[in-house]
């Protein structure tokens, strides 16, 4: 039986955006739970839902989606009745952090910002569950929001998480390093923003391996040495420059 | 005297896009030079311009913009009359690679793709020249195309180039690494594309330093160690993961 309504736990970015998205897509948000009654009420108001404390969740009801920080998932699950069907929205936490027999993962692979409405249609949902019928129903629920729904196992989800750290967290570090370097030399980060946007845009359509450019890709040792020299008063960044350059040279010998 | 027309050397991406952009913006492209007559004709046809061999460029005429690969700039300059005013479009080559007395840099800071029309208005132009009157005229020419025109000296341009390598080339390497990791585990890169787009979009509006997330940012040593363990059969990538993680931890102690 496809889910026509959901209960939700959480009041952060992911919870708030999901509550709004379900509401707008015609999936009824029945009740929002939180350990803090005021936060439950706030989040519930996004979809005219009921609200309550996690510990007061009744033993029967619709699918519960736990959208809280990774390290709170197990505790939330332990406070919910074991008779409920429960999923979490994390890319990293094991499905088995949930104590309920009927359990799963409903993971939207995106970085969310409070005030920016997500483009749900394009966001990949990674689905996993304890039973194939539940997996099917979770996929059907995800399809209401997104055109990119994937059934994955825990092993695959682990790899996706490492890859996401590399493509998102590490990339943002590089943005930060370049911004800091410009700032140090009294240049605005705005100089690089269009390049950053275009680099990401190209990777939307092509294989990034075929898009690699730059001194390391060309084997331009002279420029590389000049850059390392320029970074000599910044040994940490120089070491990163060297490590990333060596990796490119290794990939494109 | 502001430039109302230009001559161009080159037939690659940058040359082609610039020829089209000037033509559409009402700057007359007078003549396109190339060492290969057929390529000169091809590029000239983009703007109904005349064409010719570099060695045949006359001693007088409008500004010449050399848009060729970095290592060909000095040679092209040496084939052009010393009496001409000449600029190149490179972010890395010194202005003094040009032998002409009236010389400069007209550098659009973007990565260009053959079949994608650049959004010129947003592309930063970095201007440098041998004389302040020429600098002013080059800026006025750039303003015809772009809303982001900067006068920089060679030292500043050097720093921009290092920063651009970090923000563009190294970032693309990370995209490639994440794509390869997914492929190895039979997962599509499409899973990460929306995340990559959103990460870059956020950096358009905010300081990337404030946007940093992930296990290293949280000091989540358990997840970091799990990831390092997962990457144990891929020592090069594991070392990169460790280096980038250590840098984030260093920045956010």
What is the tens place of the pLDDT at every residue in B75-92? 999 999 999 999 999 998
| CATH fold for the domain made of B5-152 | Rossmann fold (3.40.50)
Distance CA A102, CA B2 (A): 73
Asked if residue A218 lies in contact with residue A227, where contact means CB atoms within 8 angstroms, the answer is no
**C-alpha closest to that of B138 among B110, B99, B106, B90:** B106
For B93, phi then psi, to 5°, come to -80, 135
Q: Cβ–Cβ contacts within 10 Å for residue B86, how many?
A: 27
Does the CB of B74 have a partner CB in chain A at under 8 Å?
no
| Chain A neighbors of B217, CB-CB under 8 A | 169
Digits of tens for pLDDT over chain A (253 positions)?
689 999 999 999 999 999 999 999 999 999 999 999 999 999 999 999 999 999 999 999 999 999 999 999 999 999 999 999 999 999 989 999 999 999 999 999 998 888 889 999 999 999 999 999 999 999 999 999 999 999 999 899 999 999 999 999 999 999 999 999 999 999 999 999 999 999 999 999 999 999 999 999 989 999 999 999 999 999 999 999 999 999 999 999 8
How many angstroms away from the CA of A58 is the closest CA of chain B? 34
Distance CA B66, CA B85 (A): 11
Location of structure tokens 């090069």: B236
Are domains B5-152 and B157-251 of this chain identical in fold?
Answer: no
Both tokens of A235, joined, read 């040994």
Q: Cβ–Cβ contacts within 10 Å for residue A74, how many?
A: 17
Distance CA B76, CA B54 (A): 7
Most distant CA atoms of chain A, gap in Å: 69
Q: Residues 208 to 227 of B: which have CB under 8 A from any A CB?
A: 208-209, 211-217, 223, 226-227
What pLDDT score was predicted for residue A1?
61
Locate the domains of chain A by residue range: 5-152, 157-251
Distance CA A58, CA A7 (A): 11
Does the CB of A168 have a partner CB in chain B at under 8 Å?
yes
Bridge pairing between strands A86-88 and A103-108: parallel
Asked if residue A35 lies in contact with residue A54, where contact means CB atoms within 8 angstroms, the answer is yes
pLDDT digit string (tens) for B128-162? 999 999 999 999 999 999 999 999 998 999 999 99
What's the pTM value of the predicted model, to 2 decimals?
0.92
What pLDDT score was predicted for residue B93?
92
Top residue of B70, B90, B112, B191 to mutate, by most chain A CBs within 10 Å, is: B191
What pLDDT score was predicted for residue B113?
84
CB within 8 Å of B76: residues ≥ 6 apart = B9, B54, B66, B68
Instruction: Tabulate helix, strand, coil % of chain B (nearest 5).
Output: 55, 15, 30
Does domain A157-251 bear CATH number 1.10.287.610? no
What pLDDT score was predicted for residue B127?
97
What pLDDT score was predicted for residue A115?
84
Length in residues, chain B: 253
> CA of A197: how far to CAs of A158, A211, B90, B197, B217, in Å?
28, 14, 20, 8, 23
**Quick check: B160 and A230 CB within 8 A?**
no
- pLDDT above 90: residue B2: no
**Quick check: B248 and A199 CB within 8 A?**
no
**Quick check: B174 and A192 CB within 8 A?**
no
* Helix spans in chain A (H): 13-25, 37-45, 73-79, 132-145, 154-164, 171-184, 193-205, 208-211, 215-218, 221-230, 235-251
Instruction: Report, as an integer, the average pLDDT of B214-228.
Output: 93
Asked if residue A77 lies in contact with residue A102, where contact means CB atoms within 8 angstroms, the answer is no
What pLDDT score was predicted for residue B1?
61
**Mean of the per-residue pLDDT values of chain B:** 96
Instruction: Report, as an integer, the average pLDDT of B39-57.
Output: 97
Distance CA B97, CA B88 (A): 9
What pLDDT score was predicted for residue B212?
94
**Interior CA angle at A244 toward A108 and A171, to 5°?**
25
Q: In chain A, how many H helices and how many E strands?
A: 11, 8
Give the H or E element holding residue B64: strand B63-66
**Quick check: A185 and B214 CB within 8 A?**
no
């Amino acid at each position: 039986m496809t889910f026509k309504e959901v209960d939700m736990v959480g009041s952060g970015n992911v919870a708030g955006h999901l509550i709004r998205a379900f509401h707008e897509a015609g999936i009824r948000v029945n009740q929002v739970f939180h350990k803090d009654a005021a936060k439950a009420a706030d989040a519930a108001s996004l979809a005219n839902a009921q609200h309550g404390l996690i510990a007061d969740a009744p033993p029967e009801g619709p699918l519960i989606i736990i959208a809280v920080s990774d390290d709170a998932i197990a505790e939330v699950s332990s406070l919910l009745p074991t008779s409920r069907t429960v999923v979490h929205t994390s890319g990293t936490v094991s499905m088995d952090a949930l104590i309920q027999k009927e359990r799963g993962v409903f993971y939207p692979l995106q970085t969310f910002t409070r005030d920016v409405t997500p483009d749900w249609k394009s966001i990949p949902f990674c689905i996993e569950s304890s039973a194939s019928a539940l997996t099917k129903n979770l996929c059907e629920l995800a399809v209401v929001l997104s055109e990119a729904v994937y059934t994955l196992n825990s092993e695959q989800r682990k790899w996706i998480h490492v890859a996401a750290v590399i493509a998102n967290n590490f990339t943002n570090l590089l943005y930060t390093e370049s911004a800091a370097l410009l700032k140090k030399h009294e240049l605005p980060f705005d100089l690089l923003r269009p390049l950053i946007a275009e680099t990401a845009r190209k990777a939307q359509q092509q294989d990034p391996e075929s898009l690699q450019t730059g001194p390391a890709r060309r084997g331009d040792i002279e420029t590389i040495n000049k850059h390392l020299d320029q970074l000599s008063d910044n040994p940490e960044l120089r070491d990163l420059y060297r490590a990333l350059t060596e990796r490119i040279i290794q990939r494109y010998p």
